[in-house]
Structures are given as structure tokens and as C-alpha cells.
Structure 1
């Protein structure tokens, strides 16, 4: 689902405020984007606090990352554009930095975690029951976005893959048909990560 630039600016500003209120956008971290009806992408400008975004904190780029308006694109623009190229149905991408997601990614050396039995699984498009399990991929961080993209691409193309992945020591990427769906995927995934960490903590406490 696409939208006008004006609609995207309003939606991304509101998303930034909501994500910041949850503690998922500390300092100037995170970046958000939306696919526009002319084929370009609205994207947050580098170095702006996402909880205090204004119209000049969002710019337009084409699908090759070339700026179409004034501003410096986020350093992670290529990761957003890779998702839009890979998934034509994707209309928005949100990237958050919650301490729970980052902490979980640092606590394991695995290339992903399994989320199973959570009622919140039904927040993912196409999922209608808690009686399921999905894989949340984890990819190592890099300052080279091409390295991250190449490493995560195979996991994103696995049948049944969810529209989310973690960058180790960095944060969570989530996407959807529009900003609302991308935020729902991000929030559900963050909730399940927090629930998994809480369960692990309780199990350790009860087995002492």
C-alpha cells in the first residue's frame, strides 16, 4: 500500500513518537520509511531524534538511494531499499533499538530464535493461531550495509519467513503493507522478545 509524501510524513512522525514513548528510539537511533505512490521512498533524515520529528526530518529518495529532496539519508537507507526491492508488497519499514531486542541478540550466538505458542504470533500477516512457531533471524552487525543485506537475504526468502529480523547488538527491523502494519509487526515481535526473556529469567529463579 502506497501513500502520498504528505501522508507518509504524518504517519512516520506519529510512529516515531509512539516508538520513542516505548523506549525504542533512544538518542537519534532508529530509522523509518514508507513507499510512496510515485515509486520513491520517504525516509527519516540521519541524526534526528525520532520522538521529536518534524517535516524537515523526513526526505525522499529513489529506489537506488539517490536523494530527491534536501537532507542526508540514514546510514541504513540501503537496508530499507533492499526490503522494498525484495518484497513489492512492503509499504513501510520501521527499525527500533529496544534494550530487550539488543540484549537478546547479544545473549546468543545463534543465527535466530524460535518464537512458539505466543498469542501474539497472530499479529504477523497470514497467521491465525497461537499454535505455531516462527523463526526470528539474527544477523551480525556491520558498518557495511551490503554485508548485512547479503547475510540476511537467505533467511528472509525461506517459505513462511516473518517480516522481521534482528541485527546483533543493534536492533530490530520490521515491515508491512503500511506504517500501521509495520508498527504492529514491530510491537508484537518486541513483546514476544520481552516475554521470552522474562520466561528465561523466571525459569532460572525457580530452579535455584
Structure 2
């Protein structure tokens, strides 16, 4: 199986898994991945993550121009910002997952680090997650906001919209996205309880042991 065919199948399989577990409803969410030739595959606009046809996934050139497949998602500027500013990015996942979106709406959410330090895995897989302001869907300003971070964040949360995660490959991006949503869920479950977060010393140990970018 060629790299193109394999990656199309992987995008379809991961997208269906995310959809089937209710992590992005209806026709929301999008996924992109970079091929070894520098071109990209990205999910089409208006498509449901649960019903993708691998053959119809959009193929873009190295400058993100449309080569073949269905019309690509309108969120291309958001994806391109991660590829342009984080050279290790091999895939980007954007969802409308419920708990992460809800977290973006709370007045006391820390915009520089939206997830409370509840588990080491969120720190290991995501680092700090930045809250970005509200933008209209498809607004190129979303990409500008990500570029403004200068590659310092692998994950952002768009206010009243949803999370976006970049990873070294598709599997890493999906697993990090799942960790973000589960941590947001834990944050709500324990919100009014006397919870024990990781201490600054424990966070420092995780950051040091697993070489996490925590600036």
C-alpha cells in the first residue's frame, strides 16, 4: 500500500473513532496530515468524521493549494499555522469536543494554561494549552493567532469553538487530543471538590523527565 493510500485509511479510521465516541458531532472537526513529499491530506469541508470516504479526502500541495479530492475544510489557515511554526508537526486535529469547549467558556480559565495539572499525561502529551479568543469559523485570523505563539504551543483551545492539537504524526496528535478532552472532563468532574492537583515540584519532575516544553 502506498503512503498516500495508507494515510488516507488512517485518517478515516481515526476520524470514525473520534466521531463514534462523541468527540466531534455532526459535520464538525477536521484532520490534516503531512506526507513525506511535503504535500498534505486534509478532510473535506462539510464532511462528517464518522462517514469519510478515503478516496475523497482532499490532497493539497506543499503550499496548501488544492490538488485533488473534495473541496478541503475552510480551516486550512488554522492547520497551516501549525505546520509553518512547528517544524516537527506531522498532523493536526481540530475537534468540537464538549468538555474542552465548555472549559473555553469559563471566566476563571487560565488563558495561558487552560488545563489544571491533574495528571502527568496531559503535561507529557500537550504541554501548556493556550486559550485563543473567539473567531468566526474559517476566519484566517485564527491562523494568525497561532502564528503569534511562534511555535511555543502544540495545542490551543479556541474560545466557544474547540481544541486544536498538532503532533509529530497522526497517532500522536489524536492521542494528545483525547488526553486534552479527558483532562477537561476531569476538571469539570472535580471542579467543586477539594481536589489534589499535581504540585509545582511534581510538575517540574514530569517536565524534566519527559522533556516537555513548559515555557
TM-score by length of 1: 0.83
Secondary structure of 1:74 counterpart: coil
Deviation at 1:96, TM superposition (A): 1.1
The answer (yes or no) to whether the contact 1:63–1:81 under 8 Å persists in 2 is no
Deviation at 1:63, TM superposition (A): 3.5
1:153 aligns with 2:147: yes
Deviation at 1:7, TM superposition (A): 1.5
Query: Residue 130 of structure 1 corresponds to which residue in structure 2?
Result: none
The answer (yes or no) to whether the contact 1:95–1:171 under 8 Å persists in 2 is yes
Equivalence map 1:111-122=2 (5 Å): 111-112=111-112, 113-121=114-122
The answer (yes or no) to whether the contact 1:34–1:42 under 8 Å persists in 2 is yes
Equivalence map 1:140-179=2 (5 Å): 140-143=133-136, 145-155=139-149, 157-158=151-152, 161=153, 163-179=154-170
Query: Residue 69 of structure 2 corresponds to which residue in structure 1?
Result: 70
Structure 1 spans left out of the alignment, 5+ residues = 126-133
The answer (yes or no) to whether the contact 1:123–1:184 under 8 Å persists in 2 is no
Query: Residue 209 of structure 2 corresponds to which residue in structure 1?
Result: none
Deviation at 1:4, TM superposition (A): 2.0
Structure 2 spans left out of the alignment, 5+ residues = 196-215
More divergent stretch after superposition (109-118 vs 180-189)? 109-118
Number of aligned residue pairs: give it: 191
The answer (yes or no) to whether the contact 2:11–2:170 under 8 Å persists in 1 is yes
Deviation at 1:74, TM superposition (A): 0.2
Query: Residue 128 of structure 1 corresponds to which residue in structure 2?
Result: none
- Aligned equivalents of 2:169, 2:15: Cα separation in 1: 14
Equivalence map 1:1-208=2 (5 Å): 4-108=3-107, 110-112=110-112, 113-121=114-122, 123-124=124-125, 134-143=127-136, 145-155=139-149, 157-158=151-152, 161=153, 163-203=154-194
Alignment RMSD (CA, Å): 2.2
- Aligned equivalents of 2:93, 2:156: Cα separation in 1: 11
More divergent stretch after superposition (28-37 vs 64-73)? 64-73
Structure having the larger proportion of residues in strand: 1
1:51-103 alpha-carbon deviations (Å, 9 max, x no partner): 11112441111233210103211010111112111112111111111111111
